[in-house]
Amino acid sequence: MPHRERTLHLIDTQSGGDVSRIVVAGVELIPGTTVLEKARYLEREGDGLRRLLLSEPYGDPAMSVDLIVEPSHPEAQAGYIIMEAMGYPLYSGSNTICTATALLSSGAIPMREDDGLQSVVLESPAGLARITARITDGRVASITTQGEPAYVAEEGLSVDVPHYGEVHFDLVWSGAYYAMIDAAAHGFTINAEEQIALTAFGDAFVRAARPGLLQEHPELGDVGPLPFAHFMGPVRGAGPGHLESPSATYVHPGVICRSPTGTGTSARLALMAQRGEIAEGDALETISPRGSRFVGTVLGEATVGAYRALHSTITGSARLLAHSQITVDLDDPLVDASDLEHVLAVQAGA
């Protein structure tokens, strides 16, 4: 009986220290018209791909996976489905930065040879990501991405967290729901030495906060239980119209992002705008516990359902780590093929 082996082609990238594995070949066409429909199918019928690439021995839960799929929108040059330890976020800043960089660097989207700015449109499950790539000396120097608008869903919430006491937070949508927490109120300054303690606190908080918390988006429907907690450090001036702040995002279960996270930064901007703490055209530079930085810029107001929302952009850069082919042995007892085999393409001659 022949071995049941499949091959996945990956481009591994990192942005702000967060690793994104871009799956560019080896997967069958995913059913669905829109990228959102394809993501819902994968979540429901093919979650084995996410588990495979984010679990030992093939990967690590701190990574992300982005599957390149056909877009449905005529403006989009490619679609991408985002997979993380928490599941299937509908949008992600760091994953968008990594995906755009990988597609341009590999030639899947032709890179203009002349130095300057290049526009790219990708379709995420949440909708279009409008991207400006800065090209310098034949490489992608930075990516600025505008995804769906963020909005403050609920303010002034609190929950009693075992061993930590009462925690006050605000709930903000930015590609997923974020619980926004004042880090200093719980003794955190947000640095590398605090990552284990932040992870423990984030885990206890999310488990306590999830019951009864909003899981609906007015346009996207049920988006699942709370996946993220964003710890906000103090804001300080860094120049005219430019602020900066230490920031950390906890991803449930058990991950502190290496980057300050793009959607976490967008959520922070929406909350600050709601409070009158930042204006159109202003920028907030968020700094992760490991010192990496993203810049979020306020564009202007929007509406999502009945919510007042905020358009913003996130600017960061990504670096290529590896081009690889992964062999998936479906007979390996460490590989759960039950919801994986039908997703993987069979190579000619296999």
**Quick check: 117 pLDDT over 70?**
yes
Query: In the prediction, which pLDDT does 1 show?
Result: 47
Q: Determine contact, residues 106/11, Cβ cutoff 8 Å.
A: yes
Query: In the prediction, which pLDDT does 112 show?
Result: 86
Query: In the prediction, which pLDDT does 38 show?
Result: 98
Instruction: Show Cβ contacts of residue 48 under 8 Å, excluding neighbours closer than 6 positions.
Output: 336, 337, 338, 339, 340, 341, 343
Among 186, 313, 307, smallest CA distance to 250 is for 186
User: According to the 3-state scheme, what is the secondary structure of the chain?
Assistant: CCCCEEEEEEEEEEECCEEEEEEEECECCCCCCCHHHHHHHHHHHCCHHHHHHCCCCCCCCCCEEEEEECCCCCCCCEEEEEEECCECCCCCHHHHHHHHHHHHHHCCCCCCCCCEEEEEEEEECCEEEEEEEEEECCEEEEEEEECCCEEEEEEEEEEEECCCEEEEEEEEECCCEEEEEECHHHCCCCCHHHHHHHHHHHHHHHHHHCCCCCCEECCCEECCCCCEEEEECCCEECCCCEEEEEEEEEECCCEECCCCCHHHHHHHHHHHHHCCCCCCCCEEEEECCCCCEEEEEEEEEEEECCEEEEEEEEEECCEEEEEEEEEEECCCCCCCCCCCCCCECCCCCC
Query: What is the average pLDDT across 24-30?
Result: 97
Domains and CATH numbers, the chain: 5-147+320-324 (3.10.310.10), 150-316 (3.10.310.10)
Query: In the prediction, which pLDDT does 32 show?
Result: 97
Residue percentage of the chain with pLDDT more than 90 = 93
Residue percentage of the chain with pLDDT more than 70 = 97
Query: In the prediction, which pLDDT does 350 show?
Result: 47
Query: What is the average pLDDT across 171-186?
Result: 96
| Average predicted confidence (pLDDT) for the chain | 95
pTM of this structure: 0.94
**Quick check: 238 pLDDT over 90?**
no
**Quick check: 115 pLDDT over 90?**
no
**Quick check: 174 pLDDT over 50?**
yes
Q: What is the tens place of the pLDDT at every residue in 58-88?
A: 999 999 999 999 999 999 999 999 999 999 9
**Quick check: 273 pLDDT over 70?**
yes
Query: In the prediction, which pLDDT does 236 show?
Result: 94
Query: In the prediction, which pLDDT does 295 show?
Result: 97
Residue 148 banded pLDDT, cuts 50, 70, 90: confident
**Quick check: 192 pLDDT over 90?**
yes
Query: In the prediction, which pLDDT does 329 show?
Result: 95
Catalytically active residues are: 92
Q: What is the tens place of the pLDDT at every residue in 246-260?
A: 999 999 999 999 999
Distance separating alpha carbons of residues 38 and 57, to the nearest angstrom = 26
Residue 178 banded pLDDT, cuts 50, 70, 90: very high
Token pair 């606190």 is found at 201
**Quick check: 98 pLDDT over 50?**
yes
Range from 18-27, 28-37, 108-117, 280-289 carrying the lowest mean pLDDT: 108-117
Query: What is the average pLDDT across 123-147?
Result: 95
Query: In the prediction, which pLDDT does 334 show?
Result: 92
Query: In the prediction, which pLDDT does 2 show?
Result: 58
182-221 burial, b at 16+ Cβ within 10 Å, e below that, comes to ebeebebebbeebbeebbebbbebbbebbeebeeebeeee
Query: In the prediction, which pLDDT does 347 show?
Result: 75
